[in-house]
Chains A and B, each alone.
Chain A
Amino acid sequence: MAHDVQNYNLDQKFDFNAGIKKSLLTILGIGAALLVIGIVMAMAGGGHAEEGAEATGHAFHWYERLFANVWINNVYFTGIAIVGVFFFAIQYAAQAGWSAPITRVMLSFGNWLPYAALIMIASFFLMGHNLFHWWHAELFDPNSPEYDSIIDGKGAFFFWPMEKGTFPIFYIARMVIFFGFWVFFFNKFKKIAAAEDQLGGDSHWFKMRSWSAYFLVFFAVSSSVSAWDWVMSIDTHWFSTLFGWYVFASWFVAGLSAITLLTIFLKGKGYLEMVNENHIHDLGKFVFGFSIFWTYLWFSQFLLIYYANIPEETVYFVERLSSDVYGPFIFVNIGMNFVLPFLVLMTRDAKRHGVFLKLVCTLLLVGHWVDFFLMVQPGTLGHNGGIGFMEVGMLLVYGSAVALVVLGGLAKGNLLPKNHPMLEESYHHHI
Chain B
Amino acid sequence: MERDTHFILGVYEDEDVLLHAVKEVRSTGVKIHEVYSPYPVHGLEHVLGYKRSRLPIAAFLFGMLGTSLALTMQFYMMKFDWPMIIGGKDFAAFPDFIPVSFEMTVLLAAFGMVGVFMVSSNLKPWAQPRIFDVRITDDKHVMAIDIANNSSMEVEKIKEILKSSGATEVNNKSFE
B37-51 contact mask (Cβ, 8 Å, vs A): 1 or 0: 000001100000000
- Which chain B residues border A308 with CB–CB below 8 Å? 87
Which stretch (B25-33, B95-103, B108-116, B131-139) binds chain A? B95-103
Within 8 A of A (CB), among B81-120: 87-89, 95-96, 98-99
Knowing A430-B42, A430-B43 touch, does A309 contact B99 (C-beta < 8 A)?
A: no
Q: Is the CB of B43 within 8 A of A303?
A: no
- Which chain A residues border B43 with CB–CB below 8 Å? 430
Q: Is the CB of B88 within 8 A of A309?
A: yes
Report the minimum CB–CB distance from B172 to chain A (whole Å). Answer: 36
Report the minimum CB–CB distance from B45 to chain A (whole Å). Answer: 13
A431 to B, closest residue via Cβ: B42
- Which chain A residues border B42 with CB–CB below 8 Å? 430
The CA-CA distance from A309 to B42 in the complex, in Å, is 53
A309 to B, closest residue via Cβ: B87
A306 contacts the other chain (CB 8 A):
yes
Q: Is the CB of B88 within 8 A of A306?
A: no
Q: Is the CB of A299 within 8 A of B98?
A: yes
- Which chain B residues border A302 with CB–CB below 8 Å? 95
Report the minimum CB–CB distance from A333 to chain B (whole Å). Answer: 15
- Which chain A residues border B96 with CB–CB below 8 Å? 303, 307
- Interface residues of B, CB < 8 Å — how many? 9
A303-332 contact mask (Cβ, 8 Å, vs B): 1 or 0: 100111100000000000000000000000
- Which chain B residues border A299 with CB–CB below 8 Å? 98
The CA-CA distance from A308 to B89 in the complex, in Å, is 10
The CA-CA distance from A430 to B44 in the complex, in Å, is 13
A310 to B, closest residue via Cβ: B87
Q: Is the CB of A303 within 8 A of B99?
A: yes
The CA-CA distance from A247 to B43 in the complex, in Å, is 40
- Which chain A residues border B88 with CB–CB below 8 Å? 309
Knowing A430-B42, A430-B43 touch, does A303 contact B87 (C-beta < 8 A)?
A: no
The CA-CA distance from A309 to B87 in the complex, in Å, is 7
A277-308 contact mask (Cβ, 8 Å, vs B): 1 or 0: 00000000000000000000001001100111
Report the minimum CB–CB distance from B109 to chain A (whole Å). Answer: 13
Report the minimum CB–CB distance from A95 to chain B (whole Å). Answer: 21
Within 8 A of B (CB), among A141-169: none
B46 to A, closest residue via Cβ: A430
Report the minimum CB–CB distance from B40 to chain A (whole Å). Answer: 13
Within 8 A of A (CB), among B32-73: 42-43
16 example contacts (A-B, Cβ-Cβ < 8 A) are as follows A299-B98, A302-B95, A303-B95, A303-B96, A303-B98, A303-B99, A306-B95, A307-B87, A307-B95, A307-B96, A308-B87, A309-B87, A309-B88, A309-B89, A430-B42, A430-B43
Ordered nearest first, which 10 A-B pairs have the shortest CB separation?
A309-B87, A306-B95, A303-B95, A309-B88, A307-B87, A307-B96, A299-B98, A430-B42, A303-B98, A302-B95
* Additional A-B contact list (13), CB under 8 Å, known A307-B96, A309-B88, A430-B42: A299-B98, A302-B95, A303-B95, A303-B96, A303-B98, A303-B99, A306-B95, A307-B87, A307-B95, A308-B87, A309-B87, A309-B89, A430-B43
